[in-house]
Every structure is written in C-alpha cells, then in structure tokens.
Structure 1
Amino acid sequence: MKRMMVAAIALCALAGCERAKQDMYDQPRYKTYAPSPLFEDGASARPPVAGTEPRARGAFADSSGGRHGVDLVQRDVGADEAQTNPYPVDMTLLKRGQDRYMIYCMPCHSPAGDGDGLVVRRGFPAPPSYHQDRLRNAPDRHIYDVIKNGYGVMVPYGDRVEPADRWAIVAFIRALQLSQHADVASLPPDVRARLGAQP
C-alpha cells in the first residue's frame, strides 16, 4: 500500500514537471515594437545604451574582421562589383585560393578540378570539369558568380566565402586549368627540355 502511495505521488509530481516544462516554452514576451507599460515611453523596444558601437554589416558581420569597420566593408563591396580579379595574382593569392578551394570546392570538383571528387564518387551529380573549353574560355566573373550564387545543383557559397576569397579561388582555378592546358611554347626553356626528354 505504501509503495502504491509513493508511486501515485511520483506520477503527480511528474505531471507537474511536464506542465512547468511547457511553461518555459510559452513564456510571456513582447512582439517587435509592441507597447509596454513597464517603461515611461510605453515601448517594449529599448534604444541602445549610450556609447554602444554599431557592428559591421554584410559579409563581415559576426566575424572578427567586423571590428575593422567601414574600410573593410567598402573593400568587400569593391571586390564584389569587380568584373575581373582586382587582386594581384601572386603566390599569396594562389595559396589562399588553394586553401579555400580545398575546403569548399574539392569535395565535388576534385583536387585536379576534373569534377571527380569524393562526393561525386558516392553518387552526387558530377560538376563539369574546369578543363573543358567552355570553362577555360569563360570570364573570371562567371566563375566568381557561380561561387557566389550557385549553378545547377551547386548551392550558393556567397554566405560562406567572402568576395576576396572568391577571387582567390578563381585565381587558383585558373592555375589548375593552366596546369593541364599550358601552351608548350610559353614554358621556360628548361621545362620544355625536360618535357622533350620524357618518353
């Protein structure tokens, strides 16, 4: 009998916990711009505290780079509006592009850019090879826009890859294309000699 009594009390207590849990989800709250009698001005929305610094917006919001403010955002806008790569193509840019490519592009496009990445080998639709004439002859802006907005089954990466990194990836893709389709006449003499010596 005593056990039955303890079990009944436990069940009642558990039922009360469920109600308390539901109350946590259904807390009283104000909708945006709703009136409130708690404050003198009658508004529930509160103005920023004096001395509050505005945060960066756009691609730099919620990032450590956001603290640098308007200059970076303006540079970001300039890079996003450029029709050709606005950065000097040097080893620093290519290394950055390679790094970003390996993170965002390689799973589908493969390390060589031939469209045979690990995701494709597991059944995902194959992207086109970067080494086909259509993409070798496409303007840089086309590749940039595909990274930003997506294309076909490729999702947009505009929210993950900032404009400067998109241009770095474009530069690296151009290097990949050149690695497979370089004009032999444009190579340095020692490289041409090594190529001629190969069987």
Structure 2
Amino acid sequence: MRALASILLCCCGLLAGCERAKQDMYDQPRYTTFAGSTLFPDGASARMPPAGTQPRARGAFAGSSGGRVGVAAVNTDIAAEQAQSNPYPVDLRLLERGRGRYMIYCLPCHSPVGDGDGMIVRRGFPAPPSFHQDRLRAAPDRHIYEVITQGYGVMLPYADRVEPADRWAIVAFIRALQLSQQAPADSLPPALKAQLDAQPGAAP
C-alpha cells in the first residue's frame, strides 16, 4: 500500500511538471522592442539583418514608408501586381528566369512539359490540368498570374514565395511551353525545320 501511494505521488509530481512545461510554451520568454540583452556583445536584443538581405512588404501597405526599401522597387512590384498582361519584354533573359522558377515551384506537379504529369502526381497527388488544353491556351496571362498568386483547387497560393516579377516570368515560360507543343512546323526557322524533317518518322 505504501509503495502504491509513493507511485501515485510520483505520478502527480510528473503531471504537475508537464502542466508547468506546457504553460512555459504559452508564455515563452521574449524581449520587448529595443530591450537590452546580455546574449550579444553589443548589448542589444534587436539584430541587424544578414548582409545582402532585401526587405520586402506585401499587401495594402507595401507601398508605404514601412514597405520595401526603395520607391522605384515598390512601384515596380505594384505595377507588376496590377498588370493585366505580361508587363515585361519576353526575351531570353525573362524566359530563363521563368524556367528556373518553374523548375523550382511548378515542375513537381505540372511536369517539365506542362502536361500535369509531374512526379508528385505520379505518387498520388491530384493532377493539375494540362497547360496544353484549349481552355488554358486561350486563357489571358492574368488568369495564370492569379492562379500562381492565389492558388486554385488543391494548389496553394505562391504569393509568399514567388514575387510578382517572377510570377510574370513563369507566365512567359508557360506560354513558351504551350507554343513548343503547338507551333506549326512551317513557322520554325529553316535550320530547325531541317533538323525536324531529318528525324526518323517525320512526315515527308
């Protein structure tokens, strides 16, 4: 009986410790703004951002004095967010940027060619629509931009990971993917047309 009482007493002590630890998680120690600290040599708790950090702000106050550093940069982001079609010249530099962002954020589901058969889909994730279907080939640039920004269906929003300029670069690359699967052979430059005609099984 005495042993049982000791075990119960020990269990009560452990439970009390768990409750205390849980409360500590709710009330974690933290510094108030501009409070001092003995943890760092300069005595300040607030730390400077690492070298090369680019401050950014999003939402309704992105263009305010507390937003991203540089009025020109802020205005560029705002203009990109409000554009109804791609505001950047579609050149090799933009397409390479879009391809890089696409490979990081889009390829796992949409696949390298944009047909919706990515590696994540092959492992059971719902397949996105192919970029090569008539509906998306005819969709305005802004539609694709908005889907990247806000998400659609099971696709999550990417606004917090992909900045406006990069969203438009992805849109440009998706348009290039669509063209790659639909371009008439006669529209190719002569050198590429000759290579295509030389492929086994090419139509005479």
Both structures adopt the same fold (TM-score exceeding 0.5): yes
The 1:16–1:119 alpha-carbon spacing in structure 2 relative to 1, beyond 3 Å, is closer
Distance 1:193 1:23 in 2: 73
Distance 1:79 1:58 in 2: 12
Q: Secondary structure at the match of 1:176?
A: helix
Measured against aligned partners, the alpha-carbon deviations of 1:42-72 in whole angstroms (never above 9, x if no partner) come to: xxxxxxxxxxxxx7531798xxxx7633321
Distance 2:105 2:28 in 1: 43
Q: Which residue of 2 aligns with 1:5?
A: none
Q: Which residue of 1 aligns with 2:126?
A: 125
Distance 1:69 1:117 in 2: 39
Distance 2:153 2:23 in 1: 45
Q: Which amino acid counterpart does residue 104 of structure 2 have in structure 1?
A: I
Larger radius of gyration: 1
Q: Unpaired runs of 5+ in structure 2?
A: 1-9, 30-54
Alignment partner of 1:83 is 2:84: yes
TM-score normalised by L of structure 1: 0.70
Deviation at residue 22 of structure 1 after TM alignment: 5.6
Mapping of residues 33-182 of structure 1, within 5 Å: 56-58=56-58, 68-182=69-183
Q: Which residue of 2 aligns with 1:6?
A: none
Distance 2:141 2:109 in 1: 20
Contact 1:56 1:69 in 2 (8 A): no
Q: Unpaired runs of 5+ in structure 1?
A: 1-9, 30-54
Distance 2:147 2:165 in 1: 15
Distance 2:184 2:177 in 1: 14
Flag the structure with higher helix content. 1
TM-score normalised by L of structure 2: 0.68
Measured against aligned partners, the alpha-carbon deviations of 1:65-113 in whole angstroms (never above 9, x if no partner) come to: x763332122101001101111111111111111110111011000111
Measured against aligned partners, the alpha-carbon deviations of 1:17-53 in whole angstroms (never above 9, x if no partner) come to: 6676466346599xxxxxxxxxxxxxxxxxxxxxxxx
The 1:69–1:197 alpha-carbon spacing in structure 2 relative to 1, beyond 3 Å, is same
Sequence identity, in percent? 64
Distance 1:182 1:98 in 2: 19
